[in-house]
Structure 1
Amino acid sequence: MRDWILKRKAGSDGRISDTDALSTYIGTIIPRREDKGRLEDEARSNGETRQFLTRVEVSFNSKANYYTFEIPALGFTHNQTIVEDYVWDRIKDELIGEAGGWGLVKLGYMPPEGNKKNGCFTLLDYKNFCPYEVNLDAYREARTHFTVEEWMDIILGAIDYNPDGYATRGLFDTEIWEAKHTMLTRLLPFVEPRVNLVELAPQQTGKSYIFGKIGKYGHIAGGGSLSRAKLFYDIASKRFGIISSNDFVAVDEIKSIKFSDNKEMQGILKGYMEDGYVNVGGVKVEGDAGIILLGNIDVNDMDGSKDMFRELPEVFRDAALIERVNGFILGRKIPSLTNAMIINDWALNTEYFTEIMHLLRAPAETLRYLGLVEQLVWTKHDVDKREKDSVFRLCTAYLKLFFPHADKELIKDSRFRSDFVKYCLQPAKRMRETVLMQMKIIDPSQFSKRFMSTYKLREDDV
């Protein structure tokens, strides 16, 4: 959304010359909740509203045999809206499959008919605001022109961070690399289905920004109350929750999160994180969304050999639940953000990049990259299944992120193989090993004798 607006209002040098005019434009194109009454009057009195930018969520009403929509930011709900068939046929390619998305919207109004007491607001037009041609093959080809170090900096720019800003923190070169790599590790759920992560880290390192502001395909749930109905399925309204319509769901501020039923939520999370589906009231709820648990803990507790879960709610202090987490992000390696670390220059377009990451989650893409990982990585035959699945899933996600151009020929290259170990395999092993260490601390009677298997590059020809 930001880039879409700036593209229309910035000069050829990418800068805004009239910030007052930009502010006025934003106020017009993005209405606030208090503008709902004005939009309702436009729809009723004029037959249509002005075009505006918002997020629309669609749902099919099987009883009434038509589609409805809601605009959460403005308070328009499914029970007061309709998408007429002639409109749906025209816009469905822009909306279907997204369970809603950001776009340019125009509303109308349908007065009550016959014995009906209430009229409906109608969706007259919807245009996805993505103005780019998103082509994975072109993206892969572009990657071949950069080293992996250069590519890391390009990705950082795409998510609004200045790669040169890390050098201003007085870090050693190895610390700068770790800080950058750890920051980008947060993107693994953006490119790989069902990546479950935990990050317990200092404040002001950008956790909420990455998961809440980068792209439109994820959902961040803040601290407070969170229900099974919101996450998975609402039995009363027969509506699926946010798990089924997002690439990931990040639960922020987990130290303060509360569930209406801890045991129910613990059980349902374990089931979903293991299998990718759960049954709620006889309804099968499926999803590809990863579960991301985010929280702030004392810097003295940021050590894998200590109990990093000791201040968290009891629902999360369950080794069986933690075992279903694929990896632990070592957020202490990311320095607190400063202005110098925020990009203020040309960069890869954020919206384009998030569309690319979303496409990389497709089943065919996942099988392609997983196949390469399986050709590259050797481990013992008797390895624990959850451990192996986690390491391979993380490696697959890293491969998509840093080496999208990888193929069966490139993986034979000695330089690539060395980079793969550094950027993919070793970090994946460390992330999973931290999970295992926490399992041992929380339930030593069951896990104290479990150790990580060996993972290394295959010696034979690939």
Structure 2
Amino acid sequence: MQTSTVQKIREQFAPMAIFKDPSSTNSLFAGRNLPSFVKDFILKRYISADGSVNRQGLTDFLDKVIPERQTEVKDRLDAGEELTLLTRFIIYIDLVKGLRRFGIPDLGIKINEGQIPQYVYKNHRGELVDGEKWGIIKITVLPDEDGKKNHVEMVDYKPFKPYKSVDIDYLRNARASFSIQEWIDVLLSAMEYEADGFESTTQKMEFLTRLLIFVEPRLNVIELAPKGTGKSFVFGNLSKYGWLVSGGKVTRAKLFYDKAKQQNGIIKNHDFTAFDEIQTIIFQEPAEIQAALKSYLESGKTTIDNNEFSSECGLMIMGNIPLNEQRRPLSYRYFDSLPQSFRESALLDRFHCFIEGWHLPRINKGIIYKGWTINVEYFSEILHTLRTQNIYGLLFDALVGYDKNADTRDFNAVKRIAVGYMKLLFPHWTSVSDINKDDFDTYCLQPAIRRRGIIKEQCHYIDPEFKTSMPYFWIKEESNISPTASNNMGVEENQLF
């Protein structure tokens, strides 16, 4: 990345900037497998203005809140110790017994073993709710009221949220200082990748398209790529709001709603759910899962055992695809690389976007970023906050014309993809007058049409009844844009922010 761009990062994002040195960081965190957003949270506490790290202070903190040997936690609790841990934990509210339970899967503490007392909950009302959380918790073993059994009690809790709120106006003002090419490089560096390691803007954009499900609700994406292109890292390390499914068995109860436990599944509690190595995942009762997915992918709702389930979670399916010597798919039928249970046109047509992962470089040491960039925790909060900013959808409606006979799925797909690109690449656009139409067409509208078009074409190969032609979309002339559109959106913007 160019020196001038790095300098802009340090100027515009000074409180959120961090110096990344992978070789040093990997050594500091050796033996502790932590996602990037946790590492950056810790590094920010011990990094100086010149980028140097207080190694001893950081190591002491790690030793205190993240045991080097996870197997020792239960033994220490059993010995009567009170432990303070920075960890991922899961909450389940037992309405029948009037208990808030928690489990720490990574440490072997089951959800029926942990309890959150009322005083801790009252101090953090609205935060200790069903689902996965990250935080610094203090736990100890206490006897139950009847004295017959013990339980693990959470005696204190500090939310893992260094940025309690994100100022979108701050982001917009900062973004306006960068050119589009500079901003693309900034986004890549925030993902911990070196922009100079990509051969072209096409490669960079293919890579950044993975972030669309971070910013746009209920966007459903398929990516087929060769191994080693960083799929697992992006979806497992950059945000605490997502869930990565890597192999194993998947049930309808795990995804949507568990009737026996009366507990929502992972789709309910996350911004996105990504299925990595889809060919290795075993979907139990595939017919039931497929029926639930069809309904959910279409409307964000489905019915599970007479319970209506709804969510804004996007779904990402990632799989490997065999390539020839020119790194292009061996077959023009891309979806043949998916498991048999997913090769149904009616299901696949409900996905909006396709990522051609064969354009991406294999991850190597030279592509890992070293230098100043936006820290991952702030970056993930920005992406999460952008999900609910509706100004970009209004801008799309004001700016884009389309065939009135356009298929509803095609229109919705193109709009969601284009709006996602606007949030990601041009968050400083808040009125029609702000928009560079050439940039909008190049980076938002045309990629959206093309990525939805690939889905349609591949569905046609499965079922010839599916048409391959996309509806016609165009950018309206100035005379056709409502003169009040920009003003009305300005009012909306002021009301929202």
TM-score (norm 1): 0.90
Q: CA deviation at 1:25?
A: 4.7
Within a 5 Å distance, the mapping from 1:40-439 to structure 2 comes to: 40-41=77-78, 45-46=80-81, 48-49=82-83, 51-96=84-129, 99-114=131-146, 117-132=148-163, 134-166=166-198, 171=199, 176-300=200-324, 302-303=328-329, 306-362=332-388, 365=389, 367-411=390-434, 413=435, 416-439=436-459
Q: CA deviation at 1:330?
A: 1.3
The code of the aligned residue for 1:36 comes to: V
Q: CA deviation at 1:209?
A: 0.7
Q: CA deviation at 1:410?
A: 3.3
Inter-CA distance 224–129: structure 2 relative to 1 (3 Å threshold): closer
Aligned match for 2:72, one of 35, 49, 69: 35
Percent of residue pairs identical: 38
Q: CA deviation at 1:84?
A: 1.1
Q: Which moved more, 1:332-341 or 1:105-114?
A: 105-114
C-alpha distance in structure 2 between counterparts of 1:453 and 1:27, whole Å: 58
Mind listing any 5+ residue stretches in structure 2 that lack a counterpart?
1-37, 482-497
Q: CA deviation at 1:17?
A: 6.7
C-alpha distance in structure 2 between counterparts of 1:387 and 1:194, whole Å: 15
SS of residue matched to 1:244: coil
| Contact 2:322/2:329 (8 A) holds in 1 | no
RMSD across aligned positions (CA): 2.1
Pairs aligned (count): 439
Deviations 1:228-263 (A, max 9, x none): 111111122221110000111111111222211121
C-alpha distance in structure 1 between counterparts of 2:335 and 2:149, whole Å: 51
| Contact 2:322/2:330 (8 A) holds in 1 | no
Q: Which has the higher strand share?
A: 2
C-alpha distance in structure 2 between counterparts of 1:271 and 1:162, whole Å: 40
Mind listing any 5+ residue stretches in structure 1 that lack a counterpart?
none
Q: Which moved more, 1:320-329 or 1:102-111?
A: 102-111
SS of residue matched to 1:113: coil
C-alpha distance in structure 1 between counterparts of 2:232 and 2:213, whole Å: 14
The corresponding residue for 2:42 is 5
Q: CA deviation at 1:379?
A: 0.8
C-alpha distance in structure 2 between counterparts of 1:224 and 1:9, whole Å: 38
SS of residue matched to 1:69: strand
C-alpha distance in structure 2 between counterparts of 1:315 and 1:139, whole Å: 42
Inter-CA distance 387–302: structure 2 relative to 1 (3 Å threshold): farther
Query: Quick check: 1:459 aligned with 2:477?
Result: yes
TM-score (norm 2): 0.84
SS of residue matched to 2:318: strand
Q: Which moved more, 1:232-241 or 1:294-303?
A: 294-303
**What stretches of structure 1 move > 4 A for 4+ residues in a row?**
20-25, 301-305
Inter-CA distance 303–418: structure 2 relative to 1 (3 Å threshold): farther
Q: CA deviation at 1:303?
A: 4.9
The corresponding residue for 2:462 is 442
| Contact 1:200/1:302 (8 A) holds in 2 | no
SS of residue matched to 1:77: strand
| Contact 2:320/2:337 (8 A) holds in 1 | no
